[in-house]
Amino acid sequence: MLSRRLLCSLLALAGPTSADLTTTLTTGQWGVWEGWGTSLAWWAVAFGDRDDVADLFFSRNTINFNGQSAPGLGLNIVRYNVGAASNKPANGVSMVTNPAMIPSRLVEGYWLDWNSADPMSNSWDWFRDANQRNMMWKARDRGVKVFELFSNSPPFWMLTNKNPAGADNGKNDNLQAWNHNDFAIYMATVSKYARDKWGINFQSIEPFNEPSADWWNAKSGTQEGCHFDVKTQTTVINMLRAEMDKRGLQDQMIAASDENSYDGATSTMRSLISSGAAAKIGRVNVHGYQYGGGDRQKLYETATGAGKRLWQSEYGRGDDSGADMVSNMILDFRWMRPTAWVYWQLIDGGGWGTVDGDNNAKRLGAVNQKHYVLALFTRHIRPGMIILDSGEYNVAAYDAAARKLVIVAVNWQNDQYLNFDLSRFSRPGSDGALVPRWSTMIGSGERYVQYSDTRMVGSKFWSFFRKNQVQTFEISNVSL
């Protein structure tokens, strides 16, 4: 009796009598890929001293992690969160918190009080937030080259109610008007200090985090957050650009505004264009919490119409299977066309993390199935590749130097063959050439397994997909 694997291999070589689903890959180009990333808050505050964690997220080695063999994700973008919190009173004024605040979500800030803006004075403490900073260095040492500095809230002493969770009414600004420029000084000073003392040159500074949201509330907030009206965003952007330039940070851009939704980002960006502040920003950042809703294409058109790149700068959801992540990622690539894609909490409970964990208790659990799904994208679609127009269930990228095409595809339907037609390429690979593939099942089952059973037949190849299977293919000797 033939083994199941041998039978599948023979079927793959013979090919289906007719493909269940065929996609014709085109050479339409959607931009150069900058990479994949993560935000360090809050998981790195808890686990910033762990080399195995850094290896799992920032290398492409196979890692033995808590007794599991797991592929390193090879992330190349890090978002570093500059904090707002301090247990040390500022000239007798203490930080205010509420019982709902989760302790691990309070990130230590560097500027302690308003006595001096001189970063070498006693008003600043650069030994704080050591773990998050250590993880940033570990990421750099593993090849990460793109860093962004971002804020969830200004330092507590700049706030009206001194509570970094938000205003008493979440619809109101919490940053005091007379501290607008101090906040700009804070962000610019940390960035310059990082360049001069830490060896980290931030590509961008993002002063906001979901600024139009009304849930940054002092009474019930569980994390740092701050509402900014669009008018205030304009003021802060202009001040921040001036403070950055004063410190010789002309090579660093401002990113904005990390709104929660695609539609919200479009609205904010249009307002920043009208106010003139858009001229001071270099990139539009958006979060993916509208999930399957919202008009991604309109945001893309608004950003590119203003000459700005676009990042999906934060995505997360409590689904450890990877299904929601893949679905929304493909929608992002298809309609929003970001040049980078950043996951929020790599370590967290409730299915949010790619690794289960508790940042408060500093407990690490199992590697979730979502991690192995994400690896199919991050390990193969690499910085510098060209993202191609690839259809509704694929993401495709082209490595011009290596003449290699990468396709990541998902099958949401019943078991079927997927047929890939490369006939529109000037060189569609080589007839009979091996097409290596890697496979992960959404939910449970196969985890990043490599196969060598698929070959080009003329300008086509095909592969059998089970329902909820994600596969990555690498095709060599391809020219657009």
**Does residue 153 surpass a pLDDT of 60?**
yes
Residue that is last in its domain, among 354, 380, 406: 380
Name the percent of the chain lying above pLDDT 90: 95
Would residue 7 count as lying in a domain? no
Residue 146's DSSP bridge partners are 77
| Radius of gyration of the CA atoms of the chain, in A | 23
Would residue 4 count as lying in a domain? no
List pLDDT tens digits, range 282-326. 999 999 999 999 999 999 999 999 999 999 999 999 999 999 999
List pLDDT tens digits, range 187-201. 999 999 999 999 999
> Would you list the DSSP string of 427-450?
EE--TT-B--EEEEESSSS--SEE
Confirm if 396 and 41 have CB atoms less than 8 A apart. no
List pLDDT tens digits, range 86-104. 999 999 999 999 999 999 9
Would residue 226 count as lying in a domain? yes
**Does residue 18 surpass a pLDDT of 70?**
no
Mark whether 248 and 311 lie in a shared domain. Answer: yes
Confirm if 148 and 200 have CB atoms less than 8 A apart. no
Any idea which residue has 């608004």 for tokens? 302
Would residue 346 count as lying in a domain? yes
Mark whether 468 and 363 lie in a shared domain. Answer: no
Confirm if 214 and 227 have CB atoms less than 8 A apart. yes
| Domain of residue 397, residue span | 15-30+390-479
Mark whether 268 and 398 lie in a shared domain. Answer: no
Mark whether 334 and 424 lie in a shared domain. Answer: no
Q: Give dist(CA 259, CA 210) in Å, integer.
A: 4
Would residue 2 count as lying in a domain? no
pLDDT of amino acid 15: 47
475 membership: H or E segment, kind and range: strand 469-475
**Does residue 35 surpass a pLDDT of 90?**
yes
Residue that is last in its domain, among 361, 380, 399: 380
Mark whether 346 and 417 lie in a shared domain. Answer: no
- The CATH number given to whatever domain includes residue 475 is 2.60.40.1180
Q: Is 334 helix (H, G, I), strand (E, B) or coil?
A: helix
Mark whether 283 and 364 lie in a shared domain. Answer: yes
Angle at 397 (CA atoms; ends 394, 148), nearest 5 degrees = 105
pLDDT of amino acid 390: 87
Which residue is catalytic, options 224, 243, 259, 314?
314
Name the maximum alpha-carbon separation found in the chain. Answer: 81
Q: Give dist(CA 235, CA 254) in Å, integer.
A: 13
324 membership: H or E segment, kind and range: helix 323-331
Would residue 6 count as lying in a domain? no
Would residue 410 count as lying in a domain? yes
Mark whether 191 and 293 lie in a shared domain. Answer: yes
| pLDDT band at residue 20 under the 50/70/90 scheme | confident
305 membership: H or E segment, kind and range: helix 296-305
Residue 159's DSSP bridge partners are 175
Mark whether 472 and 360 lie in a shared domain. Answer: no
- The CATH number given to whatever domain includes residue 345 is 3.20.20.80
Confirm if 162 and 75 have CB atoms less than 8 A apart. no
Mark whether 19 and 39 lie in a shared domain. Answer: no
Mark whether 470 and 444 lie in a shared domain. Answer: yes
Provide the number of structural domains found in the chain: 2
**Does residue 16 surpass a pLDDT of 70?**
no
Mark whether 194 and 250 lie in a shared domain. Answer: yes
Q: Does 474 participate in catalysis according to the annotation?
A: no
> Would you list the DSSP string of 63-112?
EEETTEEEE-----EEEEEE--B-SS-BTTBPP---TT--GGG--B-SB-
Confirm if 394 and 30 have CB atoms less than 8 A apart. no
pLDDT of amino acid 313: 99
What totals of helices (H) and strands (E) does the chain contain, helices first? Answer: 10, 24
Q: Give dist(CA 157, CA 70) in Å, integer.
A: 43
Q: Give dist(CA 152, CA 346) in Å, integer.
A: 18
Any idea which residue has 């969160």 for tokens? 81
What does the pLDDT average to over 417-443? 97
DSSP code of 304? H
Would residue 214 count as lying in a domain? yes
How remote is the C-alpha of 219 from its chain's centroid? 29
Q: Does 314 participate in catalysis according to the annotation?
A: yes
Residue that is last in its domain, among 380, 415, 448: 380
Mark whether 21 and 153 lie in a shared domain. Answer: no
- pLDDT mean across residues, the chain: 96
List pLDDT tens digits, range 200-231. 999 999 999 999 999 999 999 999 999 999 99
Q: Is 213 helix (H, G, I), strand (E, B) or coil?
A: coil
> Would you list the DSSP string of 232-300?
HHHHHHHHHHHHHHHTT-TTSEEEEEEESSHHHHHHHHHHHHHHTGGGGEEEEEEE-TTTT-S-HHHHH
Which residue is catalytic, options 34, 108, 206, 210?
210
